[in-house]
Amino acid sequence: MKNTEQLLDLQAYVDGELTEERRRQVEAALPADLDAQELVTGLRQLGGLIRAHEPVATVPASREFYWSQIRRQIEAEQPKAPAASAALGWLRWLIPAMGVAAVAVVVSTRPVPREITLAGGGDVTDVDVSSTVFRSESDGVTVHWIQ
Amino acid sequence: MASMGKLQLFLNNRRTLPSMPVSVKHDYPSEADETLVKWAQQGDTEAFEQLVFRHRDKIYARGLMMMRNEDQAMEYSQEAWVKAWQRLVQFQGESSFATWVTRIVINLCLDQLRRQKRVRTESIEAMDEESGGVERQLPATETNPTAGLEQDELRRRIDEAMGKLTDAHRTVVVLHEFEGLEYKEIAQRVGISIGTVMSRLFYARRRLAFLLQSLKRERSE
């Protein structure tokens, strides 16, 4: 019976992993060691058998399906160009800013009433007044801005 | 998928379109891997698709061998192809293309096995218990323990026996016997010592020998 070190040494011999010196020592001892010979033969046969009959498998999907999933992943993981990202970053701020500016232009050029009624019931006329009304239906708020 | 490539053939009118290139259709299926890789490296997805088609079973089989799970084998084999495409410029042809992609799928599987703690945390004691102790040698080997079996049947039985190994044992067998890696390379990839590689390989082989002999006994009964 061999100890662990001897067994692993013989395996390393079969696998071609021993140093040249150690390999020569093992080869010199083998003819007189039947157990070692048996182990070496067994390991070689087993290795040959396994390598010659490597299990095979077939992808359980059609070529088109298999490839389409790969292609989709490739497209999804394409890195975005930094320049494009930067441009998009600016656009993210620019578009709302342009919207606000457009509203401001419309408001400033809109005709405004020249006459308003005060809470006390009196009228104010011939006063240089302008007003802006903002109404948000969703918030239920109406804001009158009077200048 | 048509067997011929879809590159457009520009049959130009040289009088009116002198600068338009005349390209030829690529017959992808008849091209060697090296040529397809070169085209794919230039962005030709059809060349890459041909490579996928050509080697997909091998890559899937390796994933299945490592994970023993069809869904995971499918997932990691596809992920390996995606990574192969992304790293294609790094492929310099030191190994065959199929070997290169196989290594990618193996690395993905190893990562997953590590995450699931399926390759590193199995203790030597647990392995000893499972395999009966290292002091036992390989079972007495017959000249051919599987003599008389058809090749396909033998392949199936070996696959079955591989499936009965622990992940840790099976991994070293796959890397050594099928990928041809040396102990040192296996140790680096799996993240274990060379001594552990050697003992796992020995246990795995002994277990496989035992399983293959069992199947012969089953067959003769």
Q: Tell me whether residues B52 and A66 touch, CB distance under 8 A.
A: yes
Return the CATH number of the domain spanning residue range B124-220.
1.10.10.10
Contacts of A61 in chain B (CB under 8 A): 74
Domain that holds residue A22: 4-52
Residue A102 lies in a domain: no
pLDDT for position B221: 63
Which among B151, B199, B205 has CB closest to A46?
Answer: B205
Q: In CATH, what class is B28-115?
A: mainly alpha
Closest CA to A130 of A114, A142, A143: A114
Which of A15, A66, A74 has its CB closest to that of B82?
Answer: A74
Tens digits of per-residue pLDDT, B10-41?
Answer: 333 333 333 444 455 789 999 999 999 999 99
Residue A114 has pLDDT above 60, yes or no: no
What is the spatial distance between Cα B186 and Cα B199, in angstroms, rounded to a whole number? 13
Is residue A42 included in any domain, yes or no?
Answer: yes
Q: Which residues of B9-45 are buried (b: 16+ CB within 10 A; e: fewer)?
A: eeeeeeeeeeeeeeeeebebeebebeebbebbeeebb
Instruction: Decide if B130 touches A, using CB distance below 8 A.
Output: no
Q: Which residues of A touch B138 (CB under 8 A)?
A: 39, 42-43, 46
Region A68-94 average pLDDT: 67
Q: How many domains does chain A have?
A: 2
Asked if B85 and A69 come within 8 Å (Cβ–Cβ), the reply is no
Please report which confidence band the pLDDT of residue A141 belongs to, taking 50, 70 and 90 as the band edges: low
Is residue A45 a part of any domain in this protein? yes
Taking contacts as CB-CB distances below 8 angstroms, the residues of chain A near B85 are 70, 74
B202 and A70 in contact by Cβ < 8 A? no
ipTM: 0.76
Averaged over A78-95, what is the pLDDT?
A: 53
Which stretches of A15-81 are DSSP H helices? 20-29, 34-52, 63-76
Write down the domain spans for chain B.
28-115, 124-220
Residue A22: inside a domain: yes
